[in-house]
Amino acid sequence: MHPVFGDWTPRQGQLGWIDSTMHGGVTTMISAGEVHLPGRPKDIVGLKALAITAQRAFDNFRPGGVKVLAGAPVIEKGMVESDFKELAEAGVGLLGEVGLGSVKAGYEAKEMVAWARKYGIQSTIHTGGPSIPGSGLIDKDVVLEADADVIGHINGGHTSLPEAHVCELCEKSSRAIEIVHNGNEKVAIAAAKAALELKCPHRVILGTDGPAGSGVQPLGILRMVAMLSSIANIPAELVFCFATGNTAKIRKLNCGLVEVGRAADFVFMDRAQHSPAPGLLESVQLGDIPGVGMVMIDGIVRCGRSRNTPPATEIPVVVSGAH
Ligand SMILES: [Zn+2]
C-alpha cells in the first residue's frame, strides 16, 4: 500500500483509512512507496530523507495500533551503491515500487535491486501499465531482468500485462507473487491458479495497492480472500495463508503465524450474520466477506465488533484481564 503521513491519504482526501483497515482485519501494512506525497522529492538526497522520515514517523505512530512498515524510497537514476548502504544503515528496509521513478530499464533496475539486496533492503517492482498519469509501463522482460524480491501487483495496478505474460512471470521467476485488490481481477484469478499449478502457493501474497484511483478499501484483503476462494475456487484456508503466513515469511514479519515467540496479533472472525453457509470457511468459499469480531495487536484489543465488516455471527468475549 501507499501511505503518506499520519492516518491521511491525499489520493482520495481521506482521514482515518489505516484505522479503518484495522477494522478490516489488517494488523500490519507494508509500504510500496510513499508516492502520493504531494510534492514528493525526486532528487537523491530528498528521496533518501523522505524514506528515513517516513520510516521513523510510522515507527512512532501506529493508527489503530497497526504496524505500518514505511519508508520505501522510489529509486531514481544516479543512485550509487553507497546510497543503498546509507539507507540500510538508517533503518530503511524496503524499496518502493521499482519503475515508479526514472529507473525503468531492466539493466538499471537489476543493478540497484542487487545493491539493495546486498544491504538487506527488500525490493518490489511495479508490474503492468501506468497506474496514474506520470507513471509508466513495466513489461515482463523488465520484471524478469530486474529480479526484485516481490513481483508487485502482478495483476496490474490496474492495467495488467497480458494473462500469458503474467503466467510466464509466475513460471520463470522464483520471486514472490503479489496479487492486489486494485488490479485486474480476471488476471488475479489467473495468477493464483498459475501459482498453484506450478506448485508454488508459498510464493503468493495478497495486497491492496491502495489508496488508489479506485479508492481506499478497508476490506480490501478480505475481499481478495473471498474473491480468490469463491471465483478461483481455491480453498479458503489456503487463501487466508496467502494473506497471513506467506506474507509473514516473505516480508520477514514477527506476526502472521501462531507460534511461541511471535507477536500476539490476532483477527477473530466468523461467518457474517445470515450468510447461507454453515461456517466461516464455507461462507468465504461462497464469496461472502467474513465478519470481524475482534482485532488484537501486540496482545492489546484494538477493536471489538468491526465497524466495517458485515456483523460476525459470534464474537469473542474478554472474560478477564482486560486492558
Ligand atoms: Zn504500481
Q: What is the pLDDT of residues 148-168, one digit of tens each?
A: 999 999 999 899 999 999 999
Q: For 29-58, write each residue's pLDDT tens digit.
A: 999 999 999 999 999 999 999 999 999 999
Mean pLDDT score of the chain, rounded to an integer?
Answer: 97
Q: How far is the CA of 229 from the centre of ligand 1 (A)?
A: 24
Does residue 72 fall inside a structural domain? yes
Neighbours of 49 (CB within 10 A): 14
**Does 284 map to a domain?**
no
Centre of ligand 1 to C-alpha 130, Å, is 7
Burial label for 16, CB within 10 Å (0-12, 13-18, 19+), is middle
Distance in Å, CA 260 to ligand 1 centroid: 36
β-bridge pairing 150-151 and 124-125? parallel
Instruction: Give pLDDT, residue 323.
Output: 55
Q: Residue 103 Cα, ligand 1 centroid: separation in angstroms? A: 13
Strand, coil or helix: what is 133?
strand
Ligand 1: distance of its center to the CA of 137 in Å? Answer: 10
Task: Kindly state whether residue 322 falls inside one of the protein's structural domains.
Answer: no
Tell me, what's the pLDDT at 322? 55
pLDDT band with cut points at 50, 70 and 90 for residue 313: very high
Q: Specify the CATH number for the domain of residue 17.
A: 3.20.20.140
214 Cα to the center of ligand 1, angstroms:
13
CA–centroid distance, 303 to ligand 1, in Å, is 31
Percent of the chain with pLDDT over 70: 99
Tell me the CB-side half-sphere exposure of residue 247, using CA atoms within 13 A: 22
Give the 3-state secondary structure of residue 272.
Answer: strand
pLDDT tens figures, 267-307: 999 999 999 999 999 999 999 999 999 999 999 999 999 99
Query: Is residue 314 domain-resident?
Result: no
Count how many domains the chain has.
1
Rg, Å, the chain Cα set: 19
pLDDT at 24 over 60: yes
What string of DSSP letters covers 75-119? --TT--HHHHHHHHHTT--BPPPBTSSS--SHHHHHHHHHHHHHT
Residue 212 lies in a domain: yes
Q: What are phi and psi of 176, to 5 degrees?
A: -65, 145
Question: Separation of 96 CA from ligand 1 center, angstroms?
Answer: 9
Q: What is the CA(159)–ligand 1 centre distance, in A?
A: 10
Q: Decide if pLDDT at 221 tops 80.
A: yes
- What does residue 268 show for φ and ψ, rounded to 5 degrees? -100, 120
What distance in angstroms lies between residue 210's CA and the mean position of ligand 1's atoms?
10
Centroid of chain to Cα 159: 17
pLDDT score of 135? 78
Question: Quick one: pLDDT band at residue 220, thresholds 50, 70, 90?
Answer: very high
The answer to whether residue 180 is domain-embedded is yes
Q: Residues 76-135: pLDDT tens digits?
A: 999 999 999 999 999 999 999 999 999 999 999 999 999 999 999 999 999 999 987 877
Q: Is residue 243 part of a domain?
A: yes
Q: Please check whether residue 82 is in contact with residue 43, taking contact to mean a CB–CB distance below 8 angstroms.
A: no
Q: Is residue 258 part of a domain?
A: no
- What's the rounded Cα separation, in Å, for the pair 142 and 165? 12
**How much distance in Å is there from the Cα of 297 to the middle of ligand 1?**
28
Residue 55, domain extent: 8-251
Instruction: Please give the pLDDT value at position 136.
Output: 85
Which of the four pLDDT bands, split at 50, 70 and 90, describes residue 205? very high
Q: 80 CA distance to ligand 1 centroid (A)?
A: 23
